[in-house]
Chain A
């Protein structure tokens, strides 16, 4: 009997480990009352919105570049990127500085969002693949949807997101 119990706890432990192993932390933020998440390991820092230096002849969602301790970082407005209505920049408007991995190098990019909400533990196994929205919304840069505390969280695949952006630019040119 005792042995069985012990076994159970071991199983439980294994299960817990399994859960732990599948847990990924996401930083969630709001955009026009929608919730989005990015993997927290990609977040370098969160800053307040500050004026940027505009770069000429680029899509309007590329707001410009800032000086981040000597590095030149592009800032992308996610609202404009998703073609949501433009919001005025307020005190809670934040910039998330992300590390974007490309084939052979890492770039630092900032995204402008309405406000930062929370750090959430997400079990990888509960993430649902994004359904197709037809041509209305591209799902290429969505790594999945997940429900957290009764709300839907859209998980962004930032590597895909920012490389897609470049392809679009190429098409524009």
Chain B
């Protein structure tokens, strides 16, 4: 029976990436000198399961790499090694390297073997450096080939007696697989012991009655064998004795002469055994390559991990809905007016259940923002040490839930903002002290709900933005005209203009002048916007406002002729009856109206969309909906306001194409299609 292992690959990758995140967080929490055992254990366990998984799935280079990491971690765990910053940094680097390896394997790309071997070497050097008391062993890890012969003279192999308990197979373990792994360590001879076998009529094929006598020749460390049997430790009786020990115990009885013979002879077979792993390695190579060479360009299917509690509540809700439905249908079988009350209460139940169902279904797409935040401790740690700044990162509101799409798309802009705060916001320690601030700068990441929005704030207590400096810079770069009058807020917004950078020196962290405009573009693509609050010398806050979910939108339905359009409620400022005397004309055509202190253009929706009207009143007594899009305001002239409702967003581009002025479509209560207006698009359309 062969199982298609590929179906589990996705799960393995997901778990491994999670494990890597765990390792990373753990490593960052490790403070040198004072080792928190629990933390080290967590890291070790994560590394161990990645190693185990990659071994099972045949990603040998991954498991080999993880193995070295694990050895290092093991020493820390046992207290044989001090936790030092250098070691932690090397491990952090390896976590990155491992992540790259896994990502490459997942997408079917070639693994960058150069970076892998560099990291592996670093690890080995680290492993070597502080294990002076066991030089021989350590050297063997760095340069395995030549030293092996001498070293293996001490230990030429292992004699393993493996007596699994009857229920071994039921725990999902397969001896054959373990033997195969053993075989990769060295020359393997396995003898099965059939004595425990029952009569054929009593035999249950799912039980294991065999035991094995295993001889594994080659220079193998004990823990390598232990790892293979790690999973079955509790399900078997076993003894692992090295040939050397065994030979000492009963020299004459031992058939295998290798270990027992005098030293001269010992060396000769040792060289043979040293060759054996090399042969193995050569043999193993094409096996490792195979998955890489495959045209595995299959895009990884997107999956999502959902809290079981959420699924339970969803199922509860469906149950409620079914009950309501059966109640209504039995009511409908013989309905008369006396039961009207019942019908009405049934319908209102149905409505509330549907709404709850909708909410919990949307909830499945929601993930805590900590998925994004968790990468920042590392980023801040790396960058602050690189820049020589002292920065503490504070996180709050990590449990705020956001749509999965938001999680995916927000992380890049957020990384940019945080880097920006680190680079331009927080000053160097001496500057801070001179300014009367503590040397340790603080960058605060905060997420919370406000109204129908999610707000993510990046706050630093650094220098703050200098509006005038920004303005001068913008003039210099030709972004604005020198005589433009701007408010403080508008001056801050200049940093989002394309081709704008105030950093005196372009560092590799930020300052190339690309980026902030991209940040704004990305956030606006998600239907959100960015606000800047800043005080010179005190610090600045970048607040990202995002809609709660991307799949549902609060909309204001408006009627234009016989057609219905949806205006996103978030962009509606107000609406009122437009009286003819409020309209002023520019060049006889351009219609504007005055809203408090501002003249705003009027967009006649019927003209803009070519709506056929039955009644031809060019009367100005329509309704004007004042909307805002990308900072500009205008008034949309419509015939009627129909009501506010939540609409499910459906893409027009799936089966059709992009239409100027329309962002998406939705299905209205009567089953027909309503189009959702794209305010910036409308403005472009009107200006054409």
Distance, CA A72 to CA B648, complexed state (A): 12
Interface string of B582-617 (1 = CB under 8 A from A): 000000000000000000000000001111000000
Q: Are B674 and A53 in touch, CB under 8 angstroms?
A: yes
Whether, in the assembled complex, B662 has its beta carbon less than 8 Å from a beta carbon of chain A, the answer is yes
Whether, in the assembled complex, A70 has its beta carbon less than 8 Å from a beta carbon of chain B, the answer is yes
Which residues of chain B are near A56, meaning CB under 8 Å? 608-611, 659, 661-662, 675
Tell me which of A58, A72, A73 has the highest count of chain B C-beta atoms within 10 A of its own C-beta: A72
Whether, in the assembled complex, A55 has its beta carbon less than 8 Å from a beta carbon of chain B, the answer is yes
Q: Which of B610, B660, B665, B671 contacts A72 (CB 8 A)?
A: B665
Tell me which of B654, B656, B657, B659 has the highest count of chain A C-beta atoms within 10 A of its own C-beta: B656
- Dominant secondary structure at the B interface: loop
Whether, in the assembled complex, B327 has its beta carbon less than 8 Å from a beta carbon of chain A, the answer is no
Whether, in the assembled complex, A166 has its beta carbon less than 8 Å from a beta carbon of chain B, the answer is yes
Whether, in the assembled complex, A90 has its beta carbon less than 8 Å from a beta carbon of chain B, the answer is no
Number of interface residues of B (CB under 8 A): 24
Whether, in the assembled complex, B685 has its beta carbon less than 8 Å from a beta carbon of chain A, the answer is yes
Whether, in the assembled complex, B308 has its beta carbon less than 8 Å from a beta carbon of chain A, the answer is no
Q: Are A57 and B563 in touch, CB under 8 angstroms?
A: no
Which residues of chain A are near B673, meaning CB under 8 Å? 52-53, 64-67, 72
Distance, CA A55 to CA B685, complexed state (A): 14
Distance, CA A107 to CA B674, complexed state (A): 20
Which residues of chain A are near B685, meaning CB under 8 Å? 57
Interface string of A39-56 (1 = CB under 8 A from B): 000000000000111111
Whether, in the assembled complex, A109 has its beta carbon less than 8 Å from a beta carbon of chain B, the answer is yes
Nearest B-chain residue to A74, judged by Cβ: B656
B645-688 CB contacts (< 8 Å) to partner A? 650-652, 654-657, 659-662, 665, 667, 671-675, 685
Interface size bucket, A side?
20 to 34
Q: Are B610 and A71 in touch, CB under 8 angstroms?
A: no
Distance, CA A112 to CA B249, complexed state (A): 92
Whether, in the assembled complex, A108 has its beta carbon less than 8 Å from a beta carbon of chain B, the answer is yes
Nearest A-chain residue to B611, judged by Cβ: A56
- Measured CB to CB, the closest approach of chain B to A94, in angstroms, equals 19
Distance, CA A107 to CA B672, complexed state (A): 20
Which residues of chain A are near B608, meaning CB under 8 Å? 56
Distance, CA A64 to CA B662, complexed state (A): 13
Distance, CA A108 to CA B672, complexed state (A): 17
- Measured CB to CB, the closest approach of chain B to A46, in angstroms, equals 17
Q: Are B655 and A74 in touch, CB under 8 angstroms?
A: yes
Nearest B-chain residue to A60, judged by Cβ: B610
Which residues of chain A are near B655, meaning CB under 8 Å? 71-74, 107-109
Also in contact, A57 and B665, with CB within 8 A (given A72-B650, A72-B652, A72-B654): no
Also in contact, A53 and B650, with CB within 8 A (given A72-B665, A74-B655, A107-B655): no
Q: Are B656 and A71 in touch, CB under 8 angstroms?
A: no
Q: Are A67 and B667 in touch, CB under 8 angstroms?
A: yes
A66-85 CB contacts (< 8 Å) to partner B? 66-67, 70-74
Nearest B-chain residue to A108, judged by Cβ: B655
- Measured CB to CB, the closest approach of chain B to A111, in angstroms, equals 13
Q: Which of B661, B667, B671 contacts A57 (CB 8 A)?
A: B661
Also in contact, A53 and B672, with CB within 8 A (given A72-B652, A74-B655): yes
Which residues of chain A are near B674, meaning CB under 8 Å? 53
Distance, CA A54 to CA B651, complexed state (A): 16
Nearest B-chain residue to A58, judged by Cβ: B659
Q: Are A55 and B662 in touch, CB under 8 angstroms?
A: yes
Nearest A-chain residue to B608, judged by Cβ: A56
Distance, CA A56 to CA B676, complexed state (A): 12
Interface string of B532-556 (1 = CB under 8 A from A): 0000000000000000000000000
Tell me which of B608, B660, B675 has the highest count of chain A C-beta atoms within 10 A of its own C-beta: B675
Which residues of chain B are near A66, meaning CB under 8 Å? 672-673
- Measured CB to CB, the closest approach of chain A to B297, in angstroms, equals 13
Nearest B-chain residue to A173, judged by Cβ: B660
Which residues of chain B are near A52, meaning CB under 8 Å? 673
Tell me which of B655, B657, B665 has the highest count of chain A C-beta atoms within 10 A of its own C-beta: B655
If A56-B611, A56-B662, A72-B654 are given as contacts, then 13 extra A-B residue pairs at C-beta distance below 8 Å, sorted by A number, are: A53-B563, A53-B675, A54-B563, A55-B659, A56-B675, A57-B610, A67-B672, A72-B655, A72-B656, A72-B665, A73-B655, A166-B657, A169-B657
29 contacts between A and B (CB under 8 A): A52-B673, A53-B665, A53-B673, A53-B674, A54-B563, A55-B656, A55-B659, A55-B662, A56-B608, A56-B609, A56-B610, A56-B675, A57-B659, A57-B685, A64-B673, A65-B665, A65-B673, A66-B673, A67-B671, A67-B672, A67-B673, A70-B650, A71-B654, A72-B650, A72-B652, A73-B655, A73-B656, A74-B655, A109-B656
